[in-house]
Amino acid sequence: MTASLMNGKVVAQAMREEMKQEVQKLQAAGIQPGLAVVIVGEDPASQVYVNSKHKTCLELGYYSEVHRLPEDTTQEHLLELVGKLNAQSNIHGILVQLPLPKHIEEKAIIDAIAVEKDVDGFHPISVGNMIIGDDSLLPCTPAGVIELLKRYDVEIAGKHVVVIGRSNIVGKPVSLLLQREHATVTMCHSRTTNMKELTKQADILVVAIGKANFVDRSFVKPGAVVIDVGVNRLDNGKLAGDVHFDDVSEVSSLITPVPGGVGPLTITMLMHNTLKAAKSIHNLE
Ligand SMILES: Nc1nc(=O)c2c([nH]1)NC[C@@H]1CN(c3ccc(C(=O)N[C@@H](CCC(=O)O)C(=O)O)cc3)C=[N+]21
């Protein structure tokens, strides 16, 4: 069997067209969604992401602020900037690019972001609301995975989903959201002893382990849907997923490529969250 592609770029573009319409409606009410992105230091990969977020804002008609701070920025100074952005009425979403330099405590920064502007969905209150099932801003990559599955008409309810990875950014929240969609979810991680036994039972396999080409066909049940959340920069400069694409695409039914799979959805869900935050801050929901 040769898998069909789940094309994240196409889904992202469709969602962006839908969002443009909503932006126009908001404009008529005198509101422009605004996103502030803060980046500390010079990490080239992070710079690429930040530029791409800025570009997407302009494409959708959002107000965009990018704050580029030097590597030696103090935690105190960063907290001060977050406080300003919390109070700024033209900003509805705040994203502090991670990872931060070692001398800054990430938790202190995330905790300082106003919950209603937490478009990353990383604040403990956002996470708590997500777990309970209350309305909240959902973390972008996990929400993008759900959106991708839905737009390709993949049934989630009743299916066995196996997630590899248990990070706070992807593994844990995507497991929660899939369970919310009525899947039976098994979580695997670096200390799982019988990983292949488990992954071979998966109707849907979500891989977020951060190791290039880790999953080959020996992990996959024929006909499974495989979602690759990995973004690994290889020594040759190319981007590789956690899934060995050529091998796995011969046994799976649907598969996401890297690049062009989950990545474009991550930025699109960020835009979606910013729009949602703008509406919610202006009591339009
Ligand atoms: N506070 C915070 N929030 C984040 O959401 C966040 C972060 N920090 N730090 C870094 C990671 C990584 N991340 C990606 C976003 C888009 C692509 C993406 O669009 N990838 C394209 C290709 C990009 C390329 O070619 O380099 C694709 O997969 O097709 C990838 C990765 C967001 N992150």
User: Could you tell me which residues are beta bridge partners of residue 4?
Assistant: 254
Q: How far apart are CA 218 and CA 208, in angstroms?
A: 17
* Contacts for 79 with CB less than 8 Å, ≥ 6 apart: 108, 109, 112
User: Quick check: 30 and 23 in contact, CB under 8 A?
Assistant: no
Q: Say what the pLDDT of residue 34 is.
A: 98
Domains of the chain, first to last: 30-114 (3.40.50.10860), 140-263 (3.40.50.720)
Q: Going by C-beta distance under 8 Å and a sequence separation of 6 or more, which residues neighbour residue 266?
A: 140, 141, 144
Q: Which atom of ligand 1 is found nearest the CA of 270?
A: 5
pLDDT at residue 186, as a whole number: 98
pLDDT for the residue 240: 96
**Alpha helix ranges (H) inside 68-162:** 75-87, 106-112, 124-132, 140-151
Binding residue ranges: 165-167, 231
**What per-residue confidence (pLDDT) applies to 1?**
55
Could you give phi then psi for residue 176, rounded to 5 degrees? -60, -45
What is the predicted pLDDT for the residue at 161? 98
Q: pLDDT-based confidence at 177, cuts 50/70/90?
A: very high
Question: Which residues have a Cβ under 8 Å from the Cβ of 57 and sit 6 or more positions away?
Answer: 35, 63, 64, 271
| Statement: residue 106 has pLDDT above 70 | yes
CA 193 to centroid of ligand 1, rounded, Å: 30
Instruction: Give mean pLDDT, residues 66-74.
Output: 97
pLDDT tens digits, one per residue of 93-105: 999 999 999 999 9
What is the band of 86 on the pLDDT scale with cuts at 50, 70, 90?
Answer: very high
Tell me the pLDDT tens digit for each residue of 184-232: 999 999 999 999 999 999 999 999 999 999 999 999 999 999 999 999 9
- Tell me the backbone φ, ψ of residue 258, rounded to 5 degrees: -135, 120
Q: Which residues line ligand 1 (CB under 6 A)?
A: 48-49, 95-98, 120, 140, 231, 239, 258-260, 263-264, 266-267
Lowest mean pLDDT among 3-12, 37-46, 141-150, 223-232: 37-46
Query: Which structure tokens are listed for 99?
Result: 């990872």
Mean pLDDT of 157-171: 98
Q: Are 80 and 89 in contact (CB under 8 A)?
A: no
The pLDDT tens digits for 8-30 are 999 999 999 999 999 999 999 99
Q: What is the pLDDT of residue 237?
A: 87
Q: What is the mean pLDDT of the chain?
A: 97
Tens digit of each residue's pLDDT (9 = 90 or more) over 230-274: 999 999 989 999 999 999 999 999 999 999 999 999 999 999 999
161/73 Cα distance (integer angstroms): 42
Predicted TM-score (pTM) of this structure: 0.97
Burial class (CB in 10 A: 0-12, 13-18, 19+), 111: middle
Residue numbers in the known binding site for NADP(+) are: 165-167, 231
The tokens for 77 are: 């100074």
